Structure 1
Amino acid sequence: MMIIIVMMMFSLLMIFLINNTLMNMYYQNLFFLKFLIFMMYNNILFFSLKITYMIFMDYYSFYLVLLTIWIMSLMIMSLTKLKFMSIYMLNFIIMMISLILTFMSINYFMFYFFFEVSMIPTLILIIGWGGQFERIEAGVYMLMYTLFASLPMMIIFFSIYYKINMLNMIFLNNLNLINNVYMYIYLLLAFLIKMPIFFFHLWLPKAHVEAPVSGSMILAGIMLKLGGYGMLRILLVMEEISLMYNYIIISFSLIGGTLISLLCLKQIDMKMLVAYSSIVHMSLMMSSLLTLSSWGYIGGTIMMISHGICSSSLFCLVNMNYERILSRSLYLNKGMMNLIPSLSLFWFIMCIFNMASPPSLNLFSEIMMINSLIMWSQILLFVMMIMSFFNVVYMMLFYSSINHGIIYKSLNNFIFIFLREYLLIYLHMISLVYLIMIF
């Protein structure tokens, strides 16, 4: 594990030594190499040895670190010419180090620290390289929501340390130190906002719309998974009180997910639609984690990985259209099948993957999550049916609106898709197919 951290520290120094024209290629190759090195560690001996005082790794954190490195590598591939490229790459690598250390921290305070540190590079990314004037408002929304919810969590961690002089994740499992309703709410609130679920979701669509394509990829691909991973770790500390009160949050999130899926039907902004579909998937994933069953935990982890890759590719496809039509409106992005039929195939594949049709990885995860929720309560079957149905409806509407219909009449010059962009979407797709064969 330290090899990855050392390589990241070394790559920080190389920013000031490499020419800006070669920087993109260098870091892209470096991160792909890092991904291959890390992927070779997938054996039982590796997990049994990699437990130290500060960092550790199990299968949950391993696949999320793997997802982080992969999405970050594809983010660099999505970059075109940017102003202040060296500052961008410095911000990018600091973000990557903080995300990897968040997933590998064995101490709850270190987890909280890197959890919060990862917000600062994201804020700089949105404010510095966002495309519209509202980007400052979007950044402040994101920061205020996260900081407001995270401060009580830090105070609770301090109180736990004061009681037992320890914040180790492994030792604190099943000790049931949290027996207060307020502490239960405050601990979960930070992760509920981070995912986010309905009623705490207002910062996410605004942040997605104002962020550049790389910012949208990191938000959808990795940032939302911090909430799921944190909940996966923190629920084991308060197992007894979770069994008493989890039904409230499960009911609230599933009803909220159904309402958001209805809201997706009236969206005309493509980025907004993909952002709201992320909220629907995250509400289902969070509900399955709160059942505290092994089906829910495994299904939620697979959903984090599959949704991270799938939504990242959808944001890339939306950006390709935006760079050519100069609009994200579904009313103007019409008839793309007449102009770029080969890209319509990728649109189709990613849309059916996002709606969890076979043989996608999303389908396997949704089967496990729905199974865990129905075992928890059979009343939820009706809500699951409505949510799955509307998920299919708005993704079919999304695909057909973009690829069918009459071409926008004021479109005079159309730049066709570059090989780099085809490769970017193909790498998203091939990673999903490869993961289907693994799982």
Structure 2
Amino acid sequence: MFLLMMMPLCFMKKMFWLVQMMLFLMMFLFMNLSMNVMFYSNLSYMLGCDMISFGLIMLSIWVSILMIMASENLYKENYYYELFLFNVMLLLLMLYLTFSSMNMFMFYLFFESSLIPTMILILGWGYQPERIQAGLYLLFYTLFVSLPLFLGIFYIFNNMNTMIMYMYKFLSYDYVMLYLAMIMAFLVKMPMYFVHLWLPKAHVEAPISGSMILAGIMLKLGGYGLLRVLIMFQEINKKIGFIWIVISLLGGVYISLKCFCQVDMKSLIAYSSVAHMGLVISGMMTMNYWGFMGSYLLMIGHGLCSSGMFCLSNMNYERFMSRSLFINKGMMNLMPTLSLWWFMLMISNMAAPPSMNFWGEVELINSLISWSRMSMFMLMMISFLSAGYSLYLYSYSQHGEYNLGLYSFYLSCSREYLLLLLHWLPLNILIMKIDYVMVWF
């Protein structure tokens, strides 16, 4: 209701920052909801919240606030910013409903409809003409696999006469086709290696706000779906779950190597997301306690970290009008304070303590090694290479001689520092409250 009532506010003149402040208020109200750690709480109208939903909804609201903060240029240039705000509100509403639906069909409905505002963001506010192709990729990859999910949900409904997710823990199916139908949509959304091609395209063409919401929340929709659905398929997942683990771990190594070939900053960060999500998928597919915990933590950590890195690359883009590593170099000479932020977010990306990425990766490594000793080699490669491409991006953009073709240059402003602080602080402070996640699982 809060979000719905805010929608007219978007179309009033000079209300850009007020909308953001109201979202801050909403975030504060939501954080103070009494959460019961073990069960669903705040139940009404087939909506409810448990610990997973709570964390992801909080992340959605937070990233939406930061999206508005990062898109000040739209407001300054008067570039359809009322529509932009409306779009962000709509997207946030869809995400909120996706994460809090208890009915599987409602979940499916909102899961799919969150695609539309994202696509409008890419098509309406993107930079290059290729954004249309990126939008089509995004749409068709997702739509191709979501019809089987739709049919799977109704098959289960016919069988069980319920769609409430809570009831799924009493079910057990051993059908390969149903298993594939139910999880493929989420694997594409994550994205798993082999079906990841839409992600770098969408990221590179999207405006900063589109990139932030894609990296921050859209990839987590897949993970959330898997966390909910895998309960039904424990038997069959024991038999064929290893396929996904192998694909994700090998894919993680390949993609990490691919990161070293990127010259576009956004593209590099997008590919690193695929590598991180590979770990998340393989952790979930081991179906053990550590794996579920680690994948949830890494999802939240990655949402904050990746979003912050996109903000950084966008700050360079707004000054140089280019995201190429050949042009963005020697930044330490021009903006030394920003170099610190690059450093802070890069080490979080390579999972250094005390970030949530570190905690999540430790748990995922635990779960995968307990599942099979052989996975150790792949995990070593992924961890090493993730440090490698983070350092590669950092050193290429910050060190070296700066570009002499620069004509004029403006330094960073307090809004940008605040934006980065609001990404970095929760990422490294939430480790204090890690016990909530542990208790839930």
Aligned to 1:60: 52
Deviation at 1:76, TM superposition (A): 0.7
Deviation at 1:428, TM superposition (A): 0.8
CA RMSD between the two structures: 1.3
The 1:419/1:38 distance shift into structure 2, 3 A limit, reads same
Aligned to 2:117: 121
Aligned to 2:91: 95
Aligned to 1:3: none
1:125-204 paired onto structure 2 within 5 Å? 125-176=121-172, 178-204=173-199
For 1:335, the aligned partner's letter is G
Preserved CA contact (<8 Å) 2:35 2:50: no
- The answer to whether 1:44 aligns with 2:36 is yes
Deviation at 1:190, TM superposition (A): 0.4
Deviation at 1:437, TM superposition (A): 2.0
Distance 2:94 2:360 in 1: 27
Aligned to 2:279: 284
Aligned to 1:264: 259
Deviation at 1:49, TM superposition (A): 3.9
The equivalent position to 1:226 in structure 2, one of 214, 221, 229, is 221
For 1:433, the aligned partner's letter is N
For 1:159, the aligned partner's letter is Y
Percent sequence identity is: 48
The 1:371/1:45 distance shift into structure 2, 3 A limit, reads closer
- The answer to whether 1:357 aligns with 2:349 is no
Distance 1:300 1:294 in 2: 10
Deviation at 1:359, TM superposition (A): 2.1
For 1:60, the aligned partner's letter is I
Deviation at 1:174, TM superposition (A): 3.8
Preserved CA contact (<8 Å) 1:250 1:287: yes
Preserved CA contact (<8 Å) 2:118 2:210: yes
Preserved CA contact (<8 Å) 1:295 1:371: yes
The 1:243/1:267 distance shift into structure 2, 3 A limit, reads same
Deviation at 1:29, TM superposition (A): 0.4
Question: Tell me, what secondary structure is at the counterpart of 2:48?
Answer: coil
Preserved CA contact (<8 Å) 1:126 1:212: yes
Distance 2:100 2:425 in 1: 26
For 1:24, the aligned partner's letter is F
The equivalent position to 1:214 in structure 2, one of 198, 209, 221, is 209
Deviation at 1:50, TM superposition (A): 2.1
Distance 1:125 1:381 in 2: 40
Aligned to 1:76: 68
For 1:172, the aligned partner's letter is Y
**1:8-43: per-residue Cα shift (whole Å, max 9, x none)?**
011013233x21x2x221111011111111111254
The 1:372/1:270 distance shift into structure 2, 3 A limit, reads same
Distance 1:140 1:108 in 2: 26
The 1:201/1:335 distance shift into structure 2, 3 A limit, reads same
Aligned length: 430
Preserved CA contact (<8 Å) 2:257 2:385: yes
Preserved CA contact (<8 Å) 1:174 1:239: no
The 1:49/1:233 distance shift into structure 2, 3 A limit, reads closer
Deviation at 1:357, TM superposition (A): 1.3
**1:409-436: per-residue Cα shift (whole Å, max 9, x none)?**
1012111111111111111111112212
Preserved CA contact (<8 Å) 2:249 2:282: yes
The 1:244/1:45 distance shift into structure 2, 3 A limit, reads closer
For 1:164, the aligned partner's letter is M
Aligned to 2:439: none
Distance 1:373 1:156 in 2: 29
**1:78-100: per-residue Cα shift (whole Å, max 9, x none)?**
11242212221121111110001
Preserved CA contact (<8 Å) 2:335 2:411: yes
Preserved CA contact (<8 Å) 1:194 1:223: yes
Deviation at 1:52, TM superposition (A): 3.9
Distance 1:86 1:327 in 2: 27
Preserved CA contact (<8 Å) 2:48 2:101: yes
For 1:432, the aligned partner's letter is L
Deviation at 1:194, TM superposition (A): 0.2
For 2:432, the aligned partner's letter is M
Preserved CA contact (<8 Å) 1:53 1:106: no
Distance 1:170 1:427 in 2: 34
Preserved CA contact (<8 Å) 2:69 2:419: yes
Q: Could you tell me which runs of 5 or more consecutive residues in structure 2 were left unpaired when the two chains were aligned.
A: 435-441
Aligned to 1:110: 106
Preserved CA contact (<8 Å) 1:360 1:433: yes
**1:34-76: per-residue Cα shift (whole Å, max 9, x none)?**
1111111254289554234511111111000000000001111
Distance 1:159 1:420 in 2: 50
Preserved CA contact (<8 Å) 1:174 1:238: no
Aligned to 1:371: 366
Preserved CA contact (<8 Å) 2:192 2:274: yes
Deviation at 1:252, TM superposition (A): 0.9
Question: Tell me, what secondary structure is at the counterpart of 1:51?
Answer: strand
Preserved CA contact (<8 Å) 2:203 2:210: yes
Distance 1:43 1:97 in 2: 20
**1:255-309: per-residue Cα shift (whole Å, max 9, x none)?**
0111000100111110000000000000101110111111111111111110000
For 1:320, the aligned partner's letter is M
The equivalent position to 2:311 in structure 1, one of 309, 316, 328, is 316
1:1-40 paired onto structure 2 within 5 Å? 6-16=1-11, 18-19=12-13, 21=14, 23-40=15-32
Preserved CA contact (<8 Å) 1:335 1:404: yes
